């Protein structure tokens, strides 16, 4: 009996902190998306692309490279912060995104490539032809496999 009471109290506290509210779920999901940008590389690719378009090719390989690394680490750090603090509101912001003047809250992609949803039986029933295409691994650039888009 002595060991079950602290366990039940801990489970009750965890249940109170993580259940029933849409705002902590949204903050946690946004944090997960931002935290894995270092793996996805969307911010890095977009920054290099935008540096090339606005500043020229000389700046894309120098300034754009380091600016992309800087923005990727910033987005990853904000993602880690939002995942860790998901049950608690941000001081002065509530559950809204932070640092929105520097980074957008949603994940970014380069303008020349935006992945599509994976076509499987969960999202596309493929009732038209019996097979479908789509992105095999949407986070990997160049993984497009599209025979017929049914969406």
Q: Where are the domains of the chain?
A: 22-106, 115-151
pLDDT digits (tens, 9 = 90+) for 88-129: 888 887 888 888 888 888 888 888 776 766 666 566 655 555
Helices marked H in the chain — which ranges? 4-18, 22-35, 37-40, 42-55, 57-60, 63-84
Classify the phi-psi angles of 41: left when phi > 0, otherwise alpha if psi is within -120 to 50, otherwise beta. Answer: left
pLDDT at 146 over 60: no
pLDDT digits (tens, 9 = 90+) for 26-82: 888 899 989 998 998 889 999 999 999 999 888 888 999 999 999 999 999 999 998
Cα-flanking dihedrals φ and ψ of residue 51, to 5°? -65, -40
Q: How confident is the model at residue 4 (pLDDT cuts 50, 70, 90)?
A: confident
Q: How far apart are CA 2 and CA 18, in angstroms?
A: 26
| Secondary-structure percent of the chain, ordered helix, strand, coil, rounded to 5 | 50, 5, 50
Percentage with pLDDT > 90 across the chain: 21
Work out the angle at residue 126's Cα, subtended by the Cα atoms of residues 128 and 120, and round it to the nearest 5 degrees. Answer: 165
Longest dimension (CA), the chain: 70
Query: In 10 A of CB 42, how many CB atoms?
Result: 23
What SS3 state is found at 90?
strand
């Amino acid at each position: 009996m002595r060991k079950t009471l602290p366990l039940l109290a801990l489970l009750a506290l965890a249940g109170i902190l993580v259940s029933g509210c849409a705002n902590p779920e949204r903050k946690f999901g946004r944090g997960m998306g931002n935290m894995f940008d270092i793996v996805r590389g969307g911010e890095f690719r977009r920054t290099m692309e935008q540096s090339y378009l606005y500043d020229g090719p000389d700046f894309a390989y120098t300034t754009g490279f380091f600016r992309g690394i800087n923005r990727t680490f910033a987005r990853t750090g904000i993602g880690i912060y939002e995942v860790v603090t998901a049950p608690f509101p941000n001081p002065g912001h509530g559950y809204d995104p932070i640092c929105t003047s520097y980074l957008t809250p949603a994940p970014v992609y380069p303008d020349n490539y935006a992945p599509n949803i994976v076509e499987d039986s969960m999202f596309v029933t493929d009732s038209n032809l019996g097979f479908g295409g789509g992105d095999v691994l949407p986070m990997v650039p160049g993984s497009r496999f599209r025979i017929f888009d049914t969406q």
